[in-house]
Amino acid sequence: MNKTKPPISAKSAKVSKTATTAPAKHSAPHAHAHPGEILCAKIDTPLGALLVYVDEKGLVALDFPGAKIAAGSTPATPRDRDALRTAESALRDYFAKNKGLPRTLKSALEGTDFQRKVWAAIEKIPLGKTKTYGEIAAQIGHPGASRAVGAACGSNPLPLFVPCHRVLAANGKIGGFSGGLAVKRLLLRMEGVAFQG
C-alpha cells in the first residue's frame, strides 16, 4: 500500500480506453469536450500541484505532485469544466478553512465490488475522524479482511475526495497512503487527528 500508485490508465478512470483525444498542448478551453473524453487540470494546493481528472459526469481521479499527466487525457484548466472549477474551489476551502470535501463531485468510480464497498465506507468518515482498516472491513461485512481494505485504499483513484488518509492501522499507527506518509501525516494533523508514527 505504500507503493506508488499505478498510472491512471491502469486504474478506475481507464483514460487510455475512454479518451477520444490524444495528449496535446493546451491552448484553448475545452468547453465542448467530447463524450468520454477525460480532461486533466493542475490545481495548486499547499501540497503542490494536484492533477485532477474529470469526465463528463464528474471527477474520476486525483494524483499527487510529481505524477505525470496520464496518456490519453486532454490537458485543461479549471475553467474548462464545471466539475474542475468546483473541485478547485472545494480544495481551496479544504486547505484554507479545514472544510470537508463534497461527495457529489465524483463520477462513478470503477473497481471491484469489494473496492467500491470500501470506498463508499471511507466516504462516510467525517472530517477530523478516523477508522481502522479492520473497522472498515467489519462495516462492509468482511471481518478479518483488513489487509484487503488496505489494498483497496491503495487503489483509491480519488484520494482526498474519498478520504483514505482517515483510515489507520489497528494500533493507532498511521498505516500506508498512496500519496506518501508525509502527506498523510500533514492531512491528519491539519484535520486535528491524533496518531502514532
Place of cell 481528472: 53
Distant-in-sequence, close-in-space partners of 55: CB < 8 Å, separation ≥ 6: 13, 18, 36, 37, 38, 39, 107
Pair 78, 98: CB distance under 8 Å: no
Looking at the chain, which runs of residues are DSSP E strands?
A: 39-45, 48-55, 58-63, 74-76, 131-132, 167-168
Catalytic residues: 164
Helix pair 146-154, 113-123: axis angle to 10 deg: 80
- Residue 24: CB atoms within 10 Å: 8
Beta pairing partners, 63: 51
Instruction: Give the whole-angstrom CA distance, residue 156 versus residue 133.
Output: 14
- Could you tell me whether strands 167-168 and 58-63 are parallel, antiparallel, or unpaired per DSSP bridges? unpaired
